[in-house]
Amino acid sequence: MSYQKHCPHEWKQPAPFIPNWVRETPKPVVCPQPIPPVTPNPVFPNTAALQMCNPLKIEKIDCSSVLITISVPAQSIIHLPTKALEVKTIKKNFKLTQNHFFNSAPTPPGITSDTPKLFIGGLVRKDIQYSEAVHQTPTTVAGLMKDFLVDIPISCVIDLGRHLQFPGIHYDQQREYGFVASKAEFNLLSKQFYNHMPTCQLVFCQINETDNALDCIPLYGGPPEEYTFTTLQEKMVLLIQLRLTFPTPIDYKNPHCDPDNESERENNYCYDKDSKHNRKNKCINPNALFSKINTLLTKLTCIIKGPHLVALLLCK
């Protein structure tokens, strides 16, 4: 047995005792769980029409920017996590999360053209602070302050009307061409334009709201005039001011012209070039201004050097 001195130690113990009633008890039958079906494509939500907001005012502030003021009504139902005795305060602010500009696309003759649209979306962040009753007597109520945050989505479409001429859209083009002695070949010339989207900036927002409790229940054991609730119905009106800036200048259109008349569009009759707004917001070309200043300086130089009529006429 001397060879066992170099072998590792082995633990030897009997197997645990298992009673007969355990051995004879049948194993429980486990039903297989159904595997949910796997769909190859995701399920998209149904589309819905968005509310149209007519702007209260559209003001052109410089050559390529307009200031848009709109009023957006909204309504929501808020469920508090616990029973509230009274709402103490509500802190709120609006955040613009998305904006997308749609320019009016050209239409066939005889079809009225659409107006440019601006899709906007945002969130109203509300911080609701309320009291929760924890101990009450027929004459007193003791409570704790609770805090609840909720984001309310806001979305609408702004109709920008027909009084402003926004930068046009450049469309992609594809043209096929061939040669005189060609047999079976395909030649294609493609042009692709990259249009620039305008930027939208939130300038001002005012929120006017009212909140009503929908499920008021008398406070058990408390004063008779005290109630608790968990559901709030909120109605609010948002006064929003946006600044829309384009990469190229914006022109005013004559509101009395027919935008669907092809001859008026070609002859630029739809542009109110002599209007008050156009004169006020007209962009100054620095090259043209430099040329005018240079011409005036040349005439003044001719007058100073030689006050002769011939020289003055030659300078003209």
pLDDT tens for each residue of 211-253: 999 999 999 888 988 999 999 999 999 999 999 999 888 886 6
Provide the Cα torsion 225, 227, 233, 236; round to 10°: 50
Q: What is the pLDDT, as a whole number, of residue 132?
A: 92
Stated pTM of the model: 0.63
pLDDT for residue 26: 75
Cα of first residue to Cα of last residue in the chain, in angstroms, is: 131
In whole angstroms, give the CA distance from residue 162 to residue 116. 8
C-alpha angle 204-208-214 in degrees, rounded to nearest 5: 145
Q: Give residue-wise pLDDT tens across range 34-77.
A: 766 655 555 556 666 778 888 999 998 888 899 999 999 999 99
Helix (H) or strand (E) holding 43: none
> What is the chain's alpha carbon radius of gyration, rounded to the nearest angstrom?
38
The predicted structure's pLDDT at residue 100:
92
Residue 265 pLDDT: 44
**What is the band of 16 on the pLDDT scale with cuts at 50, 70, 90?**
low
Q: Which position has the token pair 């061409």? A: 177
pLDDT tens track for 85-116? 999 999 999 999 999 999 888 888 888 888 99
| Contact assessment for residue 158 and residue 132, using Cβ atoms and an 8 Å cutoff | no
**pLDDT, tens digit, 9 for 90 and up, residues 134-167:** 998 999 999 999 999 999 999 999 999 888 888 8
Burial of 192: CB neighbours in 10 Å, binned 0-12, 13-18, 19+: exposed
- H-helix or E-strand spanning residue 85: none
Inter-CA distances, 92 with 127, 129, 149, 238, Å = 6, 11, 10, 12
Average pLDDT of the chain to the nearest whole number: 79
**Contact of 71 with 239, CB cutoff 8 Å:** yes
Structure tokens at 156: 């609408």
